[in-house]
């Protein structure tokens, strides 16, 4: 098979890339990587020494494509499907990329800070860093509540890359810093993401691993 995605179903950034593949209905081979296994980690690091998932390998084009956002842009360019991840309108295109970065940097990353802190040995936590992450999430929730307004999806009527970024970020963020009662517009949008077939499939595939999540 031409495309191989190195990933883990529980990993949020991997879920973002998986959504895009399911949206485009692109055939690919999922390669589950257990970074806790020294042999698998060494094999994966030989492919991408940074050692972070997801990574897409395109054998037909001889390309190694890391980073979930870049993977989605790559799919949009070389393996387009029914979902147009980046709108044609130039203004809407840069705004979509900004929304993608917003979810990654100001929802996804602070969420991961909180989760990672739960995995630290006792006495090695970072309470100040965790509170800063929670403050960032609260600010982000307020901004998203206002930005979404009456929009059905992140950018309006069309599902885009921004929604691929939003779904896993909000899924885990709501576990560590709930917004279901405080931000009804954002929670309504999250409900629509949960109903999206591509994300519903991602959640179903991750469910067997939920016991590993420390949230």
Per residue in 44-66, pLDDT tens? 999 999 999 999 999 999 999 99
d(C-alpha 33, C-alpha 67), whole Å? 15
Q: Would you list the domain boundaries of the chain?
A: 3-78, 90-196
Quick check: 20 and 75 in contact, CB under 8 A? yes
Query: How many C-beta atoms lie closer than 10 Å to residue 213's C-beta?
Result: 14
d(C-alpha 109, C-alpha 171), whole Å? 13
| Whole-number average pLDDT of the chain | 96
Name the token pair of 23.
Answer: 């949206």
90-196 has which CATH code? 1.20.1050.10
DSSP conformation letters of 16-31:
HHHHHHHHHT---EEE
Q: What is the dihedral of CA 199, 83, 145, 138, to 10 degrees?
A: 50
CATH topology of domain 3-78: Glutaredoxin (3.40.30)
pLDDT tens-place string over residues 77-106:
999 999 999 999 999 999 999 999 999 999
């Amino acid at each position: 098979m031409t495309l191989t995605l190195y990933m883990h179903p529980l990993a949020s950034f991997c879920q973002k890339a998986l959504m895009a593949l399911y949206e485009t209905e692109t055939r690919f081979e999922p390669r589950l990587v257990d970074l806790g296994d020294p042999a698998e980690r060494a094999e994966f690091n030989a492919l991408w020494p940074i050692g972070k998932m997801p990574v897409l390998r395109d054998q037909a084009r001889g390309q190694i494509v890391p980073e979930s956002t870049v993977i989605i842009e790559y799919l949009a360019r070389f393996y387009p499907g029914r979902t147009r991840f980046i709108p044609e309108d130039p203004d809407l295109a840069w705004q979509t990329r900004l929304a993608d970065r917003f979810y990654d940097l100001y929802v996804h990353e602070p969420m991961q800070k909180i989760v990672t802190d739960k995995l630290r040995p006792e006495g090695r936590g970072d309470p100040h860093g965790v509170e800063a992450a929670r403050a960032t999430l609260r600010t982000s929730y307020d901004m998203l509540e206002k930005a979404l307004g009456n929009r059905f999806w992140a950018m309006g009527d069309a599902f885009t890359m921004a929604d691929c970024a939003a779904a896993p970020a909000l899924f885990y963020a709501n576990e560590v810093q709930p917004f279901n009662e405080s931000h009804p517009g954002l929670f309504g949008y999250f409900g629509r993401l949960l109903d999206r077939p591509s994300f519903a499939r991602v959640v179903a595939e991750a469910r067997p691993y939920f016991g590993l999540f420390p949230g």
